[in-house]
Structure 1
Amino acid sequence: MAIEDPSIIMVILVLLSIFFTLIYFTTRVHCTCEICHAYITSSWSIQFDNLCDWYTHLLKNSPTKTIHIHVLHNTITSNHQSVEYMLKTQFENYPKGKPFSAILGDFLGNGIFNVDGDSWRFQRKMACLELGKMSMRSHALEVVKHEIDRRLIPLVSSFSQKQNGVLDLQDVFRRFSFDVICKFSFGYDPNCLDKSLPVSELAMSFDLASKLSAQRAMTPSPLVWKIKRILNIGSEKRLKESIKMVNTFAQEVIRQRNKLGSCSTHEDLLSRFMASTKDPNYLRDIVISFLLAGRDTVASALTGLFWLLAQHPVVITAIRAEALMGPPNGKLHELHYLQAVVYEGMRLFPPIQFNSKFCQKDDTFPDGTFIKKGTRVTYHPYAMGRMETIWGPDCLSFKPERWLKDGVFYQETPFKYPVFQAGHRMCLGKEMALVEIKSVVLSLLQRFDIELVVPILTPRFSPGLTANFTGGLPVRVSERRDRRDKT
């Protein structure tokens, strides 16, 4: 039951603030080092626009490329040898861990991104089996192509015809990827990319649940959000309400799939999973997990890439030139320069900026860093993409050519480029996501010229499980002159 009386809430909040202050100073590590002081006081924000940029600065200046935030019990690394050690060599010693699962448990439940052990292995095996089928890949391509041809292109074209029409590309990409993942995974069409740009309460609730779940990790102690959850106040009350909306959607999707009966003839991913289990809680967690994986990451990757492309017209020209030659047999993976562009975009703007594990027993990284049992250990793809030790002195430059050898795409080891994770938890939807991203890039650049409304020197990121530009990505679009001349 929620507490509604404002005076009671105020008294509770005052008491809680005193209580949490005592908890903080009695349970947290007392540290007066420069890094911890900057974190506690947020003085880092004087020099850096984003926390991830401050972490990158610290990691660059660390001899081992590993740092400690003592007050958070968090060890952060951009050392690719340590990343390989954590994700592959000593995989069993660095699970997601109960603290992480607790933070995201209300939202993600026991879905594949929030569990370890047998539950994770079972879900991964099932997902790998289904996503590897040619029929599923063909279905995904059909969904992506339909969404681009029937909705994305007409929507962008309508804005190109408006004088001074401004379009938020980040919002468009989130709508596009939400439609695609819902149609592919559940056989449900939310129609978010309609020209009227309808407001989706489901998408808004999903965004809020993601944001508030991520903010739990920023509190000085897990007791803060746990007690707020018990009292059903503040951010925890809003989180509960948003998750309720998401759950209602998941239950309805499952109910509709159940009505269809036999799963053997249905192409959507959920129907395939339902052939192995009818557990509503398990299926609910599957729905939420695939929404998170297929919607937010793709939209984030596209947003960062188009911000870069808008500032590098030479790259756009090269993409168009390669496309004119045509992908052999219509295969996108044969467009090597386009593949390099996409990888380079995510090197600088990975959809998931950092990923954390928890150390099960005392250990030592290859760089010599001692890791105490119970420590949160984080590898940082955003910072890794900006390390001279990995990418050279031009690491801050958007340079697709770094991925090409004699014109052929060359893929770096995933432990230097853990954008799709690496080792045993490598992303199963990697190839599907790449096809979706490349299809959107090619379709939009072949038809439109895109320019930023206001040049942004450094994007600011909003809190959340994935990287999102604060304020979106407002652009102006116009149909390419040569296409207009042909019509």
Structure 2
Amino acid sequence: MYVFAKLTEVLFSDGIFNVDGENWKFQRQVASHEFNTKSLRKFVETVVDTELSDRLIPIFCSAAANKTVLDFQDILQRFAFDNICKIAFGHDPAYLLPSLPQEKFAVAFDAAARISGQRKQELGEKSSLESVDLLSRFLSSGHSDENFVTDIVISFILAGRDTTSAALTWFFWLISRHPDVENEIPKEIDEESEAASFEEVKNMVYTHASLSESMRLYPLVPVDRKEAVDDVLPDGTVIKKVPPREVVGNERRDGRKVELRARDPYTYPVFQAGPRICPGKDMAFLQMKRVVSGVLRRFKVVPAFEEDVEPVFMAHLTSKMKGGFPVRIEERAESF
């Protein structure tokens, strides 16, 4: 933790990733309100579904019709950026819109003034904080110091944008190399398609296992690595190291039901473990599964690398695909 904090203190400062003790406890307690079942359902059914149907799917339809190549890594980052800003800060940056950018500073200044005024008005009208965004919760707690709020914003944007987009980038690359897995996912989508969107993605167990395995192979935060070592407790008990293992989906053929046999978080530390386990884990999985469901229901994502070229894994704060992920979008012969 200390090494990671020193490496990132200029960027994160006193954000939740870099602090311990009461400061960390306070930030986690406030943030935890965004990750209850009611908030997660709202996130999927209003934020993610809107971004998916109004922006991502139309872009894919256009790319499929015009046979254009997209940088899928960039598209996913834009998608995730819009989502985290909506749910955490009550603001839609519309980053996924294919429109020409305006003068950035003027737009940002006007937007900041407008949003600040709207937030003060909203807090005055609400009898509780149940329906306001994450940033409003922090501000209403009395923590309005500009540097502190900036640290929070940076931390949650990184957590909400870069990690999920990285996971999906490598996931779509991997399933393109494993057609047996890619073919199973639309079957699961078809089975769950009668359910409401929240229930549908929650029950996509095979897809959940596939995403988990992808994140084991391509860690989301590679610089914050964990390494298993042998140890001896004070009473003489010997503890043997156990490396991260494959995440197994145990499939039953009766009714095509699938059971997930997941590893404990210390064996599978993608989302950390113990008190610092990622509070947004469930939100991340719901968002990723909703994207997988929405995309693979109608399209095939086909890598457009040159022949015999494989993507290069870049270990930044979050994992990246060097040079982006060029893809072609193809309409499925039969939509699920």
For the aligned pair, the TM-score class normalised by the smaller chain equals: 0.7 to 0.9
Instruction: Give the deviation of 1:337 after TM superposition.
Output: 1.1
Aligned to 1:343: 212
Amino acid at match of 1:190: P
Aligned to 1:409: 260
Instruction: Give the deviation of 1:285 after TM superposition.
Output: 1.7
Distance 1:269 1:162, change over 3 A: same
Deviations 1:252-299 (A, max 9, x none): 865653354435364322112222124223222221111011000000
Whether 1:138 and 2:7 are equivalent positions in the alignment is no
Instruction: Give the deviation of 1:346 after TM superposition.
Output: 1.1
| 1:328–1:334 Cα contact (<8 Å) kept | no
Whether 1:188 and 2:91 are equivalent positions in the alignment is yes
Whether 1:167 and 2:64 are equivalent positions in the alignment is no
Instruction: Give the deviation of 1:367 after TM superposition.
Output: 4.1
Deviations 1:103-137 (A, max 9, x none): 32222121110111111112112222x12434422
Matches within 5 A, 1:253-402: 257-262=119-124, 264=128, 266-280=131-145, 281-326=147-192, 329-330=195-196, 331=199, 332-355=201-224, 366-367=230-231, 390-391=245-246, 402=248
Q: Which moved further from structure 2: 118-127 or 255-264?
A: 255-264
Whether 1:448 and 2:299 are equivalent positions in the alignment is yes
TM-score for both structures, normalised by structure 2: 0.82
Unaligned runs of 5+ in 2: 233-241, 253-257
| 1:297–1:351 Cα contact (<8 Å) kept | yes
| 1:250–1:284 Cα contact (<8 Å) kept | no
| SS at 1:161 equivalent | helix
| 2:138–2:144 Cα contact (<8 Å) kept | no
Distance 1:251 1:133, change over 3 A: farther
CA distance in 1 between counterparts of 2:299 and 2:204 reads 20
Distance 1:307 1:200, change over 3 A: farther
Distance 1:313 1:365, change over 3 A: closer
Specify which of 417, 424, 435 is matched with residue 286 of structure 2. 435
Distance 1:425 1:199, change over 3 A: farther
CA distance in 2 between counterparts of 1:289 and 1:251 reads 22
CA distance in 2 between counterparts of 1:176 and 1:183 reads 11
Amino acid at match of 1:120: W
Deviations 1:43-76 (A, max 9, x none): xxxxxxxxxxxxxxxxxxxxxxxxxxxxxxxxxx
Specify which of 447, 450, 475 is matched with residue 327 of structure 2. 475
| 1:247–1:284 Cα contact (<8 Å) kept | no
| 2:298–2:334 Cα contact (<8 Å) kept | no
Specify which of 259, 270, 276 is matched with residue 425 of structure 1. 276
Distance 1:421 1:198, change over 3 A: farther
Give the % identical residues.
Answer: 37
Distance 1:306 1:417, change over 3 A: same
The two structures, once aligned, show a CA RMSD in angstroms of 3.2
Deviations 1:365-411 (A, max 9, x none): 5347xxxxxxxxxxxxxx955xxxx44xxxxxxxx7x3225331111
Amino acid at match of 2:287: E
Unaligned runs of 5+ in 1: 1-95, 203-245, 358-363, 369-382, 392-399
| SS at 1:462 equivalent | strand
Instruction: Give the deviation of 1:422 after TM superposition.
Output: 0.9
Instruction: Give the deviation of 1:413 after TM superposition.
Output: 1.1
4+ runs deviating over 4 angstroms: 197-202, 246-256, 455-458
TM-score for both structures, normalised by structure 1: 0.58
> What is the aligned length?
311
Q: Which moved further from structure 2: 338-347 or 173-182?
A: 338-347
| SS at 1:482 equivalent | coil
| SS at 1:403 equivalent | strand
| 2:163–2:318 Cα contact (<8 Å) kept | yes
| 1:304–1:349 Cα contact (<8 Å) kept | yes
Instruction: Give the deviation of 1:324 after TM superposition.
Output: 1.4
Q: Which moved further from structure 2: 335-344 or 102-111?
A: 102-111
Distance 1:325 1:151, change over 3 A: same
CA distance in 2 between counterparts of 1:444 and 1:469 reads 20
Amino acid at match of 2:334: D
CA distance in 2 between counterparts of 1:247 and 1:151 reads 25
CA distance in 1 between counterparts of 2:284 and 2:102 reads 25
Distance 1:247 1:288, change over 3 A: farther
| 1:340–1:404 Cα contact (<8 Å) kept | no
Aligned to 1:51: none
| SS at 2:327 equivalent | strand
Deviations 1:23-57 (A, max 9, x none): xxxxxxxxxxxxxxxxxxxxxxxxxxxxxxxxxxx
